[in-house]
Structure 1
């Protein structure tokens, strides 16, 4: 381990934290290079044949079947005919296209987060830059939308071969307009403990063709569902046990996309498991009116094949709550270990002596907010949220609250 740590420190400026290495094993992320050596199979045949996601129809899929076949075993599926009767489906879908005029007239003064991305070349997944998020009014976004569709191609930088897109994402519509009912939560997802407490993990997404979401797994190992009010999306999903294939050789950096450019020699060296990941990934194209169920812990990327408006929820219930808790405990411990390692490098030996996660016995250490990294703050916020979810569930109501 000492030799490995020294080699690692030479290659990176971040140092090595043993808790971080252990987390990769606990999460099923073994060394991707080792996997290629003993289990990669024939990855150079040039073929990419993806696994398929089950397609079901709400008219013949009972709730019990959904639980037994998808929810409990943590498997994805695509469900049709769930949007019948939704106001969003009748009012925001105009002949199969987004009714941008209605959206602007009804909600133009509202603000929403917008992700600005730059796309290089024809490989929309492999060439997408990390998005820059800013807030825009819906009116301003609709104005950009019209301009974009009127002048498609004019926003391309011919010298750099890049195109620029704006993607309205994570808009907490129900928080901004609680009395406006765009949709009804499908019965398959009715056991939603997360939104029963927080109410803020419900989103509207709106993006033109070629906008996409980079590789990620949903917050707090939650489930998610996404319904296309109009448009089409292409999803690539990777099982939790194959997550290690998506990370770099050090197990620290997640690949931006499943189709990250491996023609670049450095990328191929840094992400040796990515070719194998493409062999074990699932692919599905989601049409207008269809809803996808994304299981807990599955990493995924999403591309809008057409102008698309969708409604999305993250959610938790008794089937994935334990996994959320286990992941959160590891994140809190890892964050603590990282901060201790940083402090030791700075010569602060008594840093975090009273950290509750390490059962320290010293006096509390007064620290400035800057000493806590973003991971610490996120994990702490998730811990409070998870406590509220458990405390306010039927059967445990009141028993777990602070008295």
Structure 2
């Protein structure tokens, strides 16, 4: 389409080409244009011009490849549904061999119980313990999250430093909020920071590398009400719940097209209260869920979408250095 002769703004031309390439009918896109104030004759002419443009024909070919991939993933999802894929397994006494064979390499999530029985943290960790041992340490916390719907994607906007004791005072108020949270993307585990807390943890034998260096694990600490929006990580994660409870929801990696991806690793869907008018395909998503109690671990396979909500003041630890060559399996973002 010649940009000089088009009567639509560039963003409308992009919207038009994208929706036609993805299979929306010409009649439906014309209705949207007209309802937005575009003259019906102009709408018809623009749709015809898009269809004749060689760039659009290339775009449609790419969309067909994308459509075949979605069709394959739908078939795979249907097969996995017949193989226990609609339930989040909860297991006791899983050996390292079974963990890797069935879950890590099988790309299946699982809740593991009993693997944290030897953790001193389960008996020691409390807000009082944190204050008495490390209250004077300066920590980094994400604040002002409630005012920014994109807080998870733009964490640098929300970084704030404060004495650990000040953050603990916030947690002691008992306020249910998503406004402040200590998330993994910080250096709180660094030497001289909260690194002494690593002494209270143990690596699950045969699954996680035993030395627990500060670059091998992270800490999450926050009040009841903190929410991690639906997203996926680009590597496998093993999360251990130490204090409080967390509600988790998971959607398989192979159902990506049903969660309306946003900024690559985030979803447009509010998994706490999905709007199926805006996101109808989410009704077809396989949603697995569980409430994690202190002492529970959950394995989150690479690429699996997960939403997490703290039901109490909560402390969790995540591991990402498994006993496999290279330490993990990584999903490389497309160029």
TM bin (shorter chain) = 0.5 to 0.7
In structure 2, the partner of 1:106 is 133
Cα distance in structure 1, aligned partners of 2:323 and 2:12:
39
Displacement, 1:75? 0.7
1:225 CA displacement: 0.9
Pick from 255, 275, 285 the counterpart of residue 262 of structure 1: 275
Q: Is this contact kept in 2: 1:114–1:134, CA < 8 A?
A: yes
Q: Residues 24 and 244 of structure 1 are in contact (CA less than 8 Å); yes or no, is this contact kept in structure 2?
A: no
Could you tell me how far 1:8 is from its partner in structure 2? 7.0
Q: TM-score normalized by structure 1? A: 0.56
Rg larger for: 2
- For the 8 Å contact 2:259–2:267, the answer to whether it is kept is yes
1:145 equivalent in structure 2: 171
Cα distance change of structure 1 residues 89 and 312 upon mapping to structure 2, 3 Å threshold: same
Alignment partner of 1:283 is 2:289: yes
Structure 2 CA distance, aligned partners of 1:23 and 1:110?
A: 52
Alignment partners' CA distance in 2, 1:88 and 1:254:
33
Cα separation, 1, equivalents of 2:91 and 2:77? 32
**Structure 1 residue 82: Cα displacement:** 1.8
CA distance change for structure 1 residues 256 and 137 in 2, over 3 Å: closer, same or farther? farther
Superposition map of 1:169-318 within 5 A: 169-170=183-184, 172-175=187-190, 176-178=193-195, 181-191=199-209, 199-218=214-233, 221-247=234-260, 254-255=267-268, 257-262=270-275, 268=278, 271-277=279-285, 280-315=286-321, 318=324
Q: Is the 8 A contact 2:86 2:288 kept in 1?
A: yes
> Alpha-carbon deviation of 1:317?
5.8
What do the CA deviations read for 1:300-357 (whole angstroms, capped 9, x no partner)? Answer: 1111122211111223564798962xx42x53xx2xxxxxxxxxxxxxxxxxxxxxxx
1:106 to 1:88, Cα distance in 2 relative to 1, 3 A: same
Kept after mapping to 2: 8 A contact 1:240/1:297: yes
Give the 3-state SS of the residue equivalent to 1:61 in structure 2: coil
For the Cα contact (< 8 Å) 2:178–2:227, is it kept in 1?
no
- In the alignment, structure 1 segments of 5+ residues that lack a partner are 42-49, 93-98, 121-126, 154-162, 335-403
Aligned length: 272
Map of 1:58-69 to 2, 5 A cutoff?
60-69=93-102
Q: Against the structure 1 CA distance between its residues 232 and 314, is the aligned structure 2 distance closer, same or farther, given a 3 Å change threshold?
A: same
8 Å contact from structure 2 (residues 220, 315) kept in 1: yes
- Contact between 1:29 and 1:244, CA under 8 Å: does it hold in 2? no
Compute the displacement of 1:179 (Å).
Answer: 5.3
C-alpha displacement of 1:118? 5.6
Residues 137, 74 of structure 1: CA spacing in aligned structure 2 closer, same or farther, 3 A cutoff? Answer: same
Q: CA deviation at 1:178?
A: 4.4
* Consecutive aligned runs of 4 or more in structure 1 exceeding 6 Å deviation: 21-29, 38-41, 249-253, 319-322
* Equivalent-residue separation in structure 2 for 1:234 and 1:28 (angstroms): 34
SS state at 2:132 partner: helix
Match of 2:90 among 55, 62, 79: 55
Q: In the superposition, relative to structure 1, how do residues 226 and 28 fare at CA in structure 2: closer, same or farther (>3 Å)?
A: farther
Partner of 2:142 in structure 1? Answer: 115
What RMSD in Å do the two structures reach over aligned CA positions? 4.4
CA gap 1:209/1:322 in 2 versus in 1, 3 angstroms: closer
Alpha-carbon shift at residue 27 of structure 1 (Å): 12
Q: Mind listing any 5+ residue stretches in structure 2 that lack a counterpart?
A: 3-9, 19-54, 79-84, 153-157
Q: What's the offset of the Cα at 1:129?
A: 6.4
Aligned mates of 1:202, 1:252 — CA distance in 2: 20
Helix, strand or coil at the partner of 1:187:
coil
1:75 corresponds to which residue?
Answer: 108
Distance 1:184 1:168 in 2: 21
Change (3 A) 1:22 1:314: farther
Q: Judging changes above 3 Å, is the alpha-carbon distance between structure 1 residues 250 and 322 closer, same or farther for their aligned structure 2 residues?
A: closer
Q: 2:210, 2:320 → 1: CA distance?
A: 9
